[in-house]
Chain A
Amino acid sequence: MLSTLQPPRSLSLLPLRRFQISKTIVSAASSKTIDTSVISPPQSQILTTRRSLLSGETTAVEIAKSYLSRIRLTEPQLKCFLHVSENVLKDAQEIDQRIAKGEELGPLAGVLIGVKDNICTQGMPSTAASRILEHYRPPFDATAVKKIKELGGIVVGKTNMDEFGMGSTTEASAFQVTANPWDLSRVPGGSSGGSAAAVAARQCMVSLGSDTGGSVRQPASFCGVVGLKPTYGRVSRFGLMAYASSLDVIGCFGSTVADAGMLLHAISGYDRFDSTSSKQDVPEFQSQFPSVDHFESKPLNGVKVGIIRETLEDGVDSGVRSATQEAASHLEALGCILTEVSLPSFSLGLPAYYVIASSESSSNLSRYDGVRYGNQVMAEELNKLYECSRGEGFGGEVKMRILMGTYALSAGYYNAYYKRAQQVRTLIRKDFKAALEQNDILISPAAPSAAYKIGEKKDDPLAMYAGDIMTVNVNLAGLPAMVLPCGLVEGGPSGLPVGLQMIGAAFDEEKLLKVGHIFEQTLKGSSFVPPLLANVA
Chain B
Amino acid sequence: MLQLKSFKPGGIHPPQQKLSAGAAITWGAVPKQLLIPVQQHIGKPCKVLVNKGDAVKRGDLLAESTGFISSNVHAPLDGKVQKIMRFPLLGGQVRDVIQLTCNDAGTPYREIVEKDYNDQPVDIDALDASEIRKKIAAAGIVGMGGAGFPTHVKLTPPDGKKIDTLLINGAECEPYITADHRLMLEYSREIIQGTRLLQRLFDGVPVFIGIEDNKPDALRAMDEAAKEADMIDVVPLKTQYPQGGEKQLIKAILGREVPSKGLPMDVGVVVQNVATVLAIRNAVYFDRPLTERVVTVSGNLVGQPGNIVLPIGTPVSTVMEQFDIDPARVRLFISGGPMMGRTSYSFESPVSKTTSALLFFDETAVVKREENPCIRCGNCINACPMGLAVARLTEMIIANGIDPAAKEAVLDCIECGSCSYVCPADRRLVHWMRLGKNIIRREN
Tell whether A pairs with B.
no
Report which B residues bind A (CB closer than 8 A).
Answer: none
Report which A residues bind B (CB closer than 8 A).
Answer: none
